[in-house]
Amino acid sequence: MARSQWGTRAGFILAAVGSAVGLGNIWRFPYVAYENGGGAFFIPYLFALLTAGIPILIMEFTLGHRFRGSAPLTFFRFEGKKAEWLGWWQILVSFVISTYYAVIIAWSMRYTLFSFNLGWGEDTQAFLFGDFLQLAETPGEVGGIVWGVFIPLVLVWIISLGILLAGVQKGIELANRIFIPTLVVIFLIIVIRAVTLPGAGAGLTAFFEPNFEEIMNPTVWVAAYGHIFFSLSIAFAIMITYSSYLPKKSDITNNAFITGFANSSFELLAGIGVFAALGYMAVQSGVDVSEVATAGVGLAFVVFPQIINEFPGLNGLFGALFFLSLTLAGLTSLISITETYVAGFSEKFGTSRRKAVAIAGGLAAVISILFSTNGGLYFLDVTDYFINQFGIALIGLIEVVLVAWAFRKLSDLQGHANLVSDIRLGNWWKICLSVVTPIVLGYMMFGLFTENLLQQFDTETGNYEGYTNSFIFWSGWLVAIGALVLGIIFSLGKWHRDHAEFTEE
C-alpha cells in the first residue's frame, strides 16, 4: 500500500514548524531568556541551535525519510528489535503529553471568550484557581468534572481528531496551511500593538539588555540546550513520523535549517510581544519588570489577563487575539503529537487510519478528562514535569548515544542526507551528535536526577512543588517509568505483515 505523502514541500515545512511552535514558544522562551542573561542568552541559544537542535532535526528527518515509517517502525527497520523499543517509548511519552496538552488548549479557548467582557474580573489569580478551575484543596484529590473545562476540551479533541481523520494532505497539511499563517498574522498584530504601549521600552530593555557575566555560568548553557531540545519537538517521534511522508526527492538539511530558524524567529517575536506587555504592566503598577515577569500558566492565565484589564482601548479584542494565538499554537502541536501514536498503532497492528484515530486518539481523549477535574491542575503539573524531564530529555540522550555510539550509523545517515540535500553534511554534524550533545544532555540528566533524588529525602520541604511523597511517586515517577516499560512491552509484539519486511530503494 502506497504511503501517504505531503502535497508540497511548503506543506511539510509548515507542519514541522506548526509542531515546533507551541505554547512553550509564547510562555516559556521569553522568561528563560530573561532569566539567563537577557540579550547575552542568544549566544548560547544560537550555539545550542546549531550544535544540537538542527543536527538532531537532520538526524530524525533522515531516519524518517530513509525508513518510511512511524518512530517504532523506523527504528525497527533501522536496527531491528534492539532499537524498536525506543520508538515506542517516544510515542508513549507523546501520548501522555497529548492528554494534558489538550486541556491547556481548552483553557485558552475559554479565555478567548472571557476576553471580550473581561470575565476573569479584577483578581485574575483567584478567578483562575477558584472560579474557573475550581481547584481541589489537596493534591491527589480528583473531585468532580469541571464543566467549564470539559466542554471546550471535547471541542479540542473533535477538531484535532477530525483533522487527523482527513489524512496527511487533506487534514494535517491543510490545517497547518491555515493555522500557521493565521497565527503569525495574529501575533504580529499583538506585537505591533504591545510595542506601542507606554512602558514597552522598559520591558524590551529587560528582555534584550545583555548580562555577559552570565555567559560563563554553566547553568545558562544547560538552559539554552534544554530549551532548544524541548522547543523543536525532537525526541517526541514527531519529526521522524512527519519526515516519513516526504517524497523520495527531498532536501532534508535545508528543511531542517528552515524549520529550526522559523521556530526561533517566532520565539524572538513572542519574546518581544510578551516583554513589551510586561513592561507596560510594570510601569502601570509602579514596579520593576522583574516583579511581573513569570512563565507558564501564571504568565498566560494570571499576568496577561491583568495586563488586558489595564489595556488602553479595545482591550477585549487584544485579549481575544492573545488567547486565540495560544489556541492555534497549541492545536498545531497537539495534532503532530497525536499523529505519532496514530501512525504507530496503525502500522503495528495493520489497522486503517480511521480505526487508529478512533482507538488511540479516543483513548487519549478519555484519559484527558482526568485533567478537567477539580484536581486536574495538580496531576497536570506533576505529569508535565516528570514526563518532560525524565521522558523527552532522557530519550534524546539515549537516541543520540545509540545511533552514534552503539549502532555507529551516523556515517550511513550522513550519506543518505547528502544524497538528497543541497547542503552537504560534514564532520561538524557527526561531532555535534557524537560528542557535544551527549555531554550536554548527560550533564543535564545527572543534575536532574541528583536534584530529584535529594528532594525525595527532604522531609522539610517535600518533593517537587512541595507535594507529598506518595503523590509524587504515583503521579510522577510512575508515569515516566511506565512509558518506558510499556514501550518495551509493545516492541515485543510482531509487526503486521505489510510492514515486517522492508527493502531500501
Domain covering 9-500 assigned CATH 2.30.29 in the classification: no
Per-residue pLDDT reduced to its tens digit, 344-385: 999 999 999 999 999 999 999 999 999 999 999 988 988 888
Contacts 24+ apart (CB under 8 A), 127-133: 127/305, 128/297, 128/301, 128/302, 129/377, 132/107, 133/374, 133/376, 133/377
Res 1: pLDDT: 62
Name the residue among 443, 59, 34, 395 with its Cα closest to residue 225. 443
- For residue 258 the three cell numbers come to 528552515
CA 324 to chain centre: 18
229-252 b/e (C-beta count within 10 Å ≥ 16 → b):
bbbbbbbbbbbbbbbbbbeeebbb
Per-residue pLDDT reduced to its tens digit, 173-195: 999 999 999 999 999 999 999 99
Percent of the chain, pLDDT > 70? 94
CA distance linking residue 428 with residue 444, whole number of Å: 22
Do residues 162 and 172 touch, judged by C-beta distance below 8 A? no
Helices 81-117 and 71-79: angle between axes, nearest 10 degrees: 160
Q: How many residues appear in the chain? A: 505
Band (pLDDT 50/70/90 cuts) for residue 462 is very low
Does position 505 have pLDDT exceeding 60, yes or no? Answer: no
Mean pLDDT confidence for 122-132:
96
Count CB atoms within 10 A of the CB of residue 309: 16
The domain locations on the chain are 9-500
**Helices and strands of the chain, counted as H and E runs:** 27, 0
Compute the radius of gyration of the chain from its Cα atoms.
Answer: 22
CA 367 to chain centre: 19
Of the listed ranges 10-24, 44-58, 268-282, 489-503, the least confidently predicted one is 489-503
Strand partners, 244: none
Res 456: pLDDT: 55
pTM to 2 decimals? 0.95
Sign of CA dihedral 204, 229, 10, 325: negative
Sign of CA dihedral 210, 45, 226, 242: positive
